[in-house]
A = this chain, B = another copy of it.
Amino acid sequence: MKLYTFFRSSAAFRARIALNLKGIAFESLPVQFAKHEQHGAQYLAKNPQGLIPALDTGDAVLAQSLAIIEYLDETFPTPPLLPGDALGRARVRSLALSIACDIHPLNNLRVLNYLRKQLAQDDAQVNEWCRHWIALGFKAIETSAQQYSTSGKFLYGDAVSMADVCLLPQLFNARRVATDLTPFPTLAAIGQHLESLPAFANARPEVQPDAV
Produce 1/0 per residue, A45-58, CB < 8 A to B: 00011110000000
- Kindly list chain B residues whose C-beta atoms are within 8 Å of the C-beta of A93: 64, 66-67, 70-71
Residues of B contacting A114 in the complex (Cβ-Cβ under 8 angstroms):
129, 132
Contact A74-B86, Cβ < 8 Å, known A93-B66, A94-B67, A121-B119 = yes
CB–CB B111/A49 < 8 A: no
Contact of A143 among B48, B106, B128 (CB under 8 A): B48
Copies per complex?
Answer: 2
Task: List A residues at the B interface (Cβ < 8 Å).
Answer: 48-51, 59-60, 62-64, 66-68, 70-71, 74-75, 86-87, 89-91, 93-94, 97-98, 100-102, 104-106, 108, 111, 114-115, 118-119, 121, 125, 128-129, 132, 137, 139-141, 143-144
Given contacts A71-B90, A114-B129, A119-B129, 16 further A-B contacts (CB under 8 A): A48-B144, A51-B102, A59-B87, A62-B90, A64-B98, A66-B101, A67-B97, A70-B89, A71-B87, A74-B89, A75-B86, A101-B101, A101-B104, A102-B105, A106-B111, A119-B125
